[in-house]
Amino acid sequence: MKVEIKDLNKRLGNKEVLKEINLCLEPGQIFGLVGENGAGKTTLIKCATGIYKPDRGAVYIGGSNVYDNPVVKGKIGYVAEENQYFSSYRIEELLSFYALAYPHFSPERFRELNRLFQLTERTRVRELSKGMQMRLALMLALSQRPQLLVLDEPTSGLDPLAKREVLRLLVQEVESRALTVLISSHHLGDLERICDTIGVISRGEMRAVHTLTEMKVNMRKLQLVFPQGFPAELASWPEVLAVETVGRVNYIVTKQYSEELLGRLRQLKPLVLEEVSLGLEDMFIYAAKEGYR
């Protein structure tokens, strides 16, 4: 399902948590939301799932406003950061509870998914470890056969193996029926494998939204040394995003890398012209800081 977030503003207490957020997710897209603690990720997610009422603007899912709309909410699978189930419930009791709440919930689908994790249905929720609770939450959300899956920090606090299993389950689900996924995390590393698009949120503002492929192609870091010092004009070239100098070595970060640009740089006769690796984390830091478009 298509998700459109339009001019979203949200204030909590007297803090402006979200400012003018605009965002559009296409069906089949896996969107990663990154940002530091307190940037507004969870608030954005709670607005997108219709839990919070926006102060201004709105979130449209499949064309209808999600707030106070049980029909649309029935199509959303939501896995919160802390999953507040009735902790004394047994899993089998939760299943019947979910079947009451969600029209498309399928206990058969749950059992199918559970073949992998082997949770005993007689177990009470509070007896499960954190990782198992997260898997339970994900399985319950997938058993709703949602058209939109919203995951808030799904991998935080999981061991590497559990993390991989959770991501794997997600990948399989996306492959078998193109659902839209919105994931938040402050670990870029968890997201860069599976997301096609990543949005950076900082102090309540959406700083950058990019597809990973496009970013990797356009953003490169080059190491340059010039015999007569750094040509100042370079900093104002439209393709150059940032310039850094360490001793005699200059680094430039490009926002529009091309062979043609490389050719022009060579004409300036640098002693050294080499590409150095630029991690995804650095890319997003530059993108957020320097206003990469």
Closest CA to 250 of 260, 258, 240: 240
Q: Which are the contacts of 228, defined by CB distance < 8 A and separation ≥ 6? A: none
Stretch that binds other proteins, among 69-77, 141-149, 172-180, 231-239 (CB under 8 A): 172-180
Nearer to other proteins, 171 or 268 (CB): 171
Stretch that binds other proteins, among 101-109, 227-235, 237-245, 271-279 (CB under 8 A): 271-279
- β-sheet with 240-246: strand ranges across: 240-246, 249-254, 221-225, 272-276
210 binds other proteins (CB under 8 A): no
Residue that has been written with the tokens 């997600």 in this structure: 170
Nearer to other proteins, 65 or 218 (CB): 218
Among 150, 278, 287, 288, which residue interacts with other proteins (rule: CB under 8 A)?
278
Residue that has been written with the tokens 């799932």 in this structure: 49
Nearer to other proteins, 41 or 221 (CB): 221
* Host H or E run for residue 211: strand 205-211
Among 235, 258, 275, 291, which residue interacts with other proteins (rule: CB under 8 A)?
275
Residue 183 CB, shortest distance to other proteins, in Å, is: 11
CB 71 within 8 A of CB 88: no
Nearer to other proteins, 47 or 181 (CB): 181
Residue 29 CB, shortest distance to other proteins, in Å, is: 8
- Give me the helix-helix angle, 160-176 and 130-143, nearest 10°: 10
Residue 163 has which token pair? 């993390």
| Interface positions with other proteins (CB under 8 A) | 28, 30, 164, 167-168, 171-172, 174-176, 189, 192-196, 212-213, 216-217, 220, 275, 277-280
